[in-house]
């Protein structure tokens, strides 16, 4: 019987599924933020200063993340967006 009701509701998103979607995004983000090493914020500030000697960028144009790639390898990923022609 619940099958029929589920069918009726199928095209309408329930508030529980909205909650789940929001949580999944948030929790994934917070987990990766919490797993960043302690030296990360300082290194990020220093790299930002170096880049700014050459290119004017805003602080949120620099994105850094440490990711585990397999058992013995971690990768520091650095992404810098900067405006062309300025």
Residues that bind other proteins (CB under 8 A): 2, 9, 14-17, 19-20, 22-24, 26-27, 30-31, 34
Measured from the CB atom, the residue of 23 and 43 that comes closer to other proteins is: 23
* Contact in structure between 51 and 64 (CB atoms under 8 Å): no
Spatial distance between the Cα atoms of 64 and 32, rounded to a whole number of angstroms: 11
What's the closest the beta carbon of residue 69 comes to other proteins, in angstroms? 20
State which residue, 30 or 46, has the beta carbon closest to other proteins.
30
What 3-state class would DSSP assign to 27?
helix
CB 81 within 8 A of CB 61: yes
Shortest Cβ 35–other proteins spacing (Å): 8
């Amino acid at each position: 019987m619940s099958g029929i009701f589920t069918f009726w509701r199928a095209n309408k998103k329930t508030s529980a599924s909205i909650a789940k979607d929001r949580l999944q995004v948030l929790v994934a983000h917070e987990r990766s933020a919490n797993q960043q090493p302690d030296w990360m914020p300082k290194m990020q500030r220093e790299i930002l200063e170096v880049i700014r000697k050459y290119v004017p960028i805003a602080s949120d144009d620099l994105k850094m993340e440490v990711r585990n790639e397999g058992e013995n390898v971690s990768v520091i990923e650095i992404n810098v967006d900067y405006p062309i022609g300025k």
